[in-house]
Amino acid sequence: MTVDPDRNGKQVGFIMIPHSPHDDAWGVTRIPIAVIKNGEGPTVILEGGNHGDEYEGPITICDLIRELDPGQVQGRLILMPANNVHAVIAGQRTSPVDGLNFNRTFPGDPRGTITQQISAFITDHLYPIADAFIDLHSGGSSLDIIPSAIVEPTTDPGLHRRNLAAVQAFDAPMTVVISNLGEPRTATAAACLAGLVTVGTEMGGGGTVSLEALEVCRRGVRNVLAHHGVLPLDEIEPRRQDGQVLELPGTSAYVFATADGIFEPLHSNGTRVSEGQPAGRIHFTWDPTRPPETLHYAADGILYGRRQPGRVRPGNCCLVVAAPYQGSLS
């Protein structure tokens, strides 16, 4: 690592992991990292580029690296805009080097492939020196999601309360508890296991940069940093949202494609929908004799996300419904 996390001031450099592909025998993979430190206070890690086709978070983190002076910070920021760097350069969800989804590799493996080595470095060397984690995702190329701040479930009630408070400080248009169906291999699940106060996001998606989501992201990140005391409290803007918490109600949240065809959604994001209601149709435009197949919602709630590409195959996630959170809010 070319930055010293214990040094006061602003440093911008790289984590360098030896990487020896066909065309570069003694090369390195360089993961950008900035440290802005000023005296005593909490350490917050900001992650972008966990998936390489999600852009609002990385832009926000690079803005902070350029804009913040150490004198504005109390404590330490570890700013990482492009953690899955090969995927970021390729503009892809998964790494073109080893094909892995970085967010399914935690806690990583220092003897594994390059993606597993990156997650191992973060788990082993950065989580232990941090107090809080902000993981900035968007929907990626395949999903368009209502800009939202995400609560990672944890079995530790004290951490759950602190996570909820930090996520609500983000003040996104929606606050959603997402377990990824209990998936333990994500960056946020690993951060919670390490005891870090954890905030996730889903900022738009569709493989584009959303003007609206970028504004939400810039403002929300500063709100959370002020909530943690790393930026001055007067950075927190007046709340815009009512603080309602939603969740993805297990597998019933998802409408999956049942056939190979073209998916037609019947509603826009934000629409109130109910279980059993027609959600969309799969068309077979190459065979007009075959009638479209109708898909139905499996839960009551709000349409939270929808697939971007029209072309679907069985199992593709077409729609996502968020419902009122049933868990503890205190």
Question: Which residues contact Ca ion by CB under 5 A?
Answer: 51, 137
Task: Report the interhelical angle of 211-227 vs 56-67 (nearest 10°).
Answer: 50
Q: Which is nearer to Ca ion, 146 or 282 (CB)?
A: 146
Closest CB 108 distance from Ca ion, rounded Å: 17
Closest CB 139 distance from Ca ion, rounded Å: 7
Q: Which is nearer to Ca ion, 51 or 160 (CB)?
A: 51
Shortest CA distance to 193 belongs to which of 248, 249, 124?
A: 124
Nearest residue to Ca ion, by Cβ distance, number only: 137
Q: Which is nearer to Ca ion, 187 or 257 (CB)?
A: 187
Q: Which is nearer to Ca ion, 93 or 283 (CB)?
A: 93
Closest CB 101 distance from Ca ion, rounded Å: 9
Q: Which is nearer to Ca ion, 102 or 297 (CB)?
A: 102
Q: Which is nearer to Ca ion, 53 or 131 (CB)?
A: 53
Closest CB 84 distance from Ca ion, rounded Å: 10
Q: Which is nearer to Ca ion, 51 or 228 (CB)?
A: 51
Closest CB 276 distance from Ca ion, rounded Å: 30
Closest CB 150 distance from Ca ion, rounded Å: 10
Closest CB 95 distance from Ca ion, rounded Å: 14
